[in-house]
A = this chain, B = another copy of it.
């Protein structure tokens, strides 16, 4: 039988990152390609103790069907943390649990976009979000990213032309892949534009807790007096990514529709791990745990920056991130990064080409992404030395 695949999925390609991941089964490859948190960031002992207690005392509840909106005590605990830590949530907002931050992104698009509607994105942007929009039949429209955030003038130009824009998708803090944190001034201008043009801001903040230098910039959601911001995040980078527990805070009138959609995607998120998260947040010192992760990533990032400063020719530029998991490197003179990435992989160092994050899937990119959360210090030194030698040969 020949399967007639739906238009929205027929056009969707497996991401370039996934293809690179497949090559990583070779253990001799040094990988700067992943987006994984370091396993040292998982509080294994505490989760193990709580797990034993739930099995002993609440198993019938934890293993049974739960509410689509999420486990009520966890929703409450997340809501309080968002308020205390990020100044988030107004009376019109509600907080619900999703199956990872990814589901929050996908549900926001599903709730707002008809086929052919547009989602405006920073270019480059997170490939998982771009594909989530495409899988709902939405068009992704890229706006360039400057050092202070999305280009405001170009954003306004797009908003003027693009009558079917429904969502403005932003990763304002420790942007993946570009590593940029937008300024408050940029955020305020962008917020005003979104309000003026009636577009919902989807603020994706998976790395917001991972600041290891500099000072926090207020989230969009923290100044959302108008109910135009949906805020998505998760526990993937601070407790466990494999458990798939995320959350959304947004206007109840919109989030309630997302919950109807969630019900038909997976009924609810794994209840046992929702209970684990709740117990961990309320019984352990999450801030101290996160401080430990920050120390780890500060050291990893500094190690990689030191190696880059030593090895890489000065014609290649790279970000100096204050948090998150990624560095973003840019080749001179707008050169396509694809040949360099390919040559690096041949020398057993994996990085992700910038083209994997483009809104236009076929456009080349002069950049590539480096991850520093996963590799060992030794692999950072050896891998960057290989990249540096290669760069000196090629540029």
Contacts and interface: CB of A to CB of B under 8 A. Distances in A.
Interface stretch (A174-182, A266-274, A286-294, A339-347): A266-274
B1 A260 contact: no
Given A1-B228, A100-B267, A272-B273, A55 B64 contact: no
A268 B244 CA distance: 8
Interface string A1-13: 1011111111011
B39 A63 contact: yes
Contact of A244 (B15, B18, B114, B270): B270
A3 B113 CA distance: 11
A39 to B, nearest CB: 4
Given A242-B270, A264-B128, A64 B51 contact: no
Given A66-B242, A112-B3, A264 B131 contact: yes
Given A1-B226, A64-B39, A106 B265 contact: yes
A134 to B, nearest CB: 8
A10 B59 CA distance: 37
A102 B262 CA distance: 10
Nearest to A43: B63
Contacts of A271: 242-244
A395 interface: no
Interface residues of A, number: 81
Given A244-B270, A269-B244, A270-B270, A264 B47 contact: no
B241 A270 contact: no
A121 interface: no
A323 interface: no
Interface in A352-375: none
A219 interface: no
Interface in A105-129: 106, 110-115, 117, 128
A253 B236 CA distance: 31
Given A14-B260, A112-B6, A36 B64 contact: yes
A263 B4 contact: no
A242 B112 contact: no
A253 B59 CA distance: 39
B48 A241 contact: no
B36 A60 contact: no
Contacts of A5: 111-112, 254, 257
Contact of A242 (B62, B100, B261): B62
Nearest to A34: B65
Minimum-distance CB pairs A-B, first 4: A48-B55, A63-B240, A242-B271, A39-B60
5 contacts: A6-B111, A47-B63, A65-B242, A128-B267, A272-B273
Interface of A: 1, 3-10, 12-15, 18, 35-37, 39, 42, 44, 47-48, 51-52, 55-56, 59-60, 62-66, 99-100, 102-103, 106, 110-115, 117, 128, 131-132, 135, 137, 166, 195, 198, 200, 226-228, 236, 239-244, 251, 253-254, 257, 260-261, 263-273
